[in-house]
């Protein structure tokens, strides 16, 4: 390394595809032998993945499969194990036990090949402060073996980044935008994003969602860690919920919401149902009547309620869907770590 070579900070290895290597010759040979493809069925496979920090909780026997081409949400509050899982599957830290495969490759043995094919935005972003944005992206592009500079410049424009300003002069939100650009600019097969919209204004959040949606439309995979539930609800097909270092649920967003309690507002004409009649309907947990309006809480399918209302004149029926954050908090209700 020459005196003019970039000197990374202690944490900047997160962005360097050469990081995490233990056997450079073997990894380089593996990288040359592998032709990137989007034909894989599984983008991420975790089998009993465990990382122990001694007395400090890490993750315990995490089992998870993410299919190629999907946007997958990884949900949990701070400290639940999201970042530890991501850093372990990228070989930034070594697992205590278990196994992680990324794009069909072993996370430890084939880390350099994985890093060349993956885009990664860490939760705690470390960049070379003395570089300009353009210099940083050029350097990272060269480390990846070359990128489509036209697409990189398109992202710079879309995220309204000033390419010739030094990183040290950027706000935290603008640094986050640079992090998003570097994760997507080489059009990786898999993009791993740890809290991607942290510090972004609503306009830039929307720009991030658009880039994610475009990656999905091209058949690429996005693994999105977040505790901002509305954004996951908006862009992810499936989610895993992690609590105390263990995955407690893997489900589609639609199925999670279908299982949740719904709040139904029924406006009757004449005749109107009674509260006793409504409370006797399977799935109804509570029903109250105020004049010609009934407020009903129901779990699961609405079919029994709809059939029970058939003999009555129903002028209108409003369904208030349970937001994902309410479902999430219900699963965490007995967790002592949630305040």
Predicted confidence (pLDDT) per residue in 143-200, tens digit: 888 888 899 999 999 999 999 999 999 999 999 999 999 999 999 999 999 989 888 9
Write out the residue limits of the CATH 3.40.50.300 domain(s) in the chain.
12-250
Give the neighbor-by-neighbor strand order of the sheet with 221-226. Answer: 118-121, 190-194, 221-226, 71-75, 238-243, 246-252
Write out the residue limits of the CATH 3.30.70 domain(s) in the chain.
261-321
Task: Please identify which residue in the block is written with the tokens 């032709």.
Answer: 35
Predicted confidence at residue 226, as pLDDT, reads 82
Question: How many other CB atoms are found less than 10 A from the CB of residue 279?
Answer: 13
* Dist. CA 248–CA 243, nearest whole Å: 7
* Statement: 12-250 belongs to CATH 3.40.50.300: yes
Residue count of the chain, please give it: 339
What digits encode the pLDDT tens for the residues 230-240? 778 888 999 99
Predicted confidence at residue 232, as pLDDT, reads 82
Residues whose CB is less than 8 angstroms from the CB of residue 210 and which lie 6 or more positions away in sequence, other chains included: 158
Is a pLDDT exceeding 50 seen at residue 51?
Answer: yes
Looking at every residue in the chain, the average pLDDT score rounds to 82
Mean pLDDT of 58-77: 92
Task: Kindly compute the dihedral angle of the four CA atoms of residues 212, 215, 220, 221, in this order, to the nearest 10 degrees.
Answer: 0
* Dist. CA 282–CA 286, nearest whole Å: 11
Predicted confidence at residue 319, as pLDDT, reads 80
- Label residues 223-242 b or e (16+ Cβ within 10 Å = b): bbbbbbbebbbbbbebbbbb
Predicted confidence at residue 338, as pLDDT, reads 41
Predicted confidence at residue 263, as pLDDT, reads 84
Q: What is the pTM of this model?
A: 0.72
Beta bridge partners of 74: 225, 240
Is a pLDDT exceeding 70 seen at residue 31?
Answer: no
Of the listed ranges 78-82, 256-260, 271-275, 286-290, the least confidently predicted one is 256-260
Tell me the CATH architecture of domain 261-321: 2-Layer Sandwich (3.30)
| Percentage of the chain lying above the pLDDT 90 cut | 54
| Contact of 47 with 106, CB cutoff 8 Å | no
């Amino acid at each position: 390394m020459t005196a003019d070579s970039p000197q990374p900070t202690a944490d900047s290895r997160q962005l360097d595809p050469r990081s995490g290597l233990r056997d450079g010759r073997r990894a380089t040979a593996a990288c040359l032998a592998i032709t990137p493809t989007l034909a894989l069925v599984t983008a991420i496979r975790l089998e009993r993945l465990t990382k122990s920090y001694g007395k400090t909780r890490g993750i315990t026997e995490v089992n998870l499969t993410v299919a190629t081409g999907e946007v997958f949400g990884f949900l949990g509050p701070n400290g639940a194990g999201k970042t530890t899982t991501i850093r372990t599957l990228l070989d930034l830290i070594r697992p205590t036990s278990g196994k992680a495969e990324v794009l069909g490759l072993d996370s430890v043995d084939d880390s350099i090949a994985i890093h060349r094919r993956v885009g990664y935005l860490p939760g705690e972003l470390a960049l070379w402060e003395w570089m300009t944005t353009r210099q940083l992206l050029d350097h990272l592009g060269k480390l990846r073996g070359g990128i489509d500079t036209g697409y990189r410049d398109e992202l710079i424009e879309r995220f309204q980044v000033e390419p010739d300003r030094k990183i040290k002069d950027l706000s935290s939100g603008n640094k986050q935008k640079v992090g998003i650009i570097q994760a997507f600019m080489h059009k990786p097969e898999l993009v791993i994003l740890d809290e991607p919209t942290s510090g972004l204004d609503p306009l830039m959040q929307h720009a991030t969602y658009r880039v994610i949606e475009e990656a999905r439309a091209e058949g690429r995979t996005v693994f999105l860690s977040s505790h901002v539930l509305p954004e996951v609800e908006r862009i992810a097909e499936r989610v895993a919920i992690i609590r105390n270092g263990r995955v407690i649920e893997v489900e589609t967003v639609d199925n999670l919401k279908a299982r949740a309690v719904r709040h139904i507002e029924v406006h009757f004409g004449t005749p109107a149902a009674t509260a006793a009649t409504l409370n006797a309907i399977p799935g109804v947990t509570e029903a109250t009547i105020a004049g010609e309006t009934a407020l009903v809480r129901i779990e699961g399918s609405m079919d029994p309620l709809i059939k029970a209302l058939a003999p009555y004149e129903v002028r209108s029926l409003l369904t208030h869907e349970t937001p994902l954050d309410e479902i999430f908090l219900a699963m965490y209700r007995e967790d002592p770590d949630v305040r």
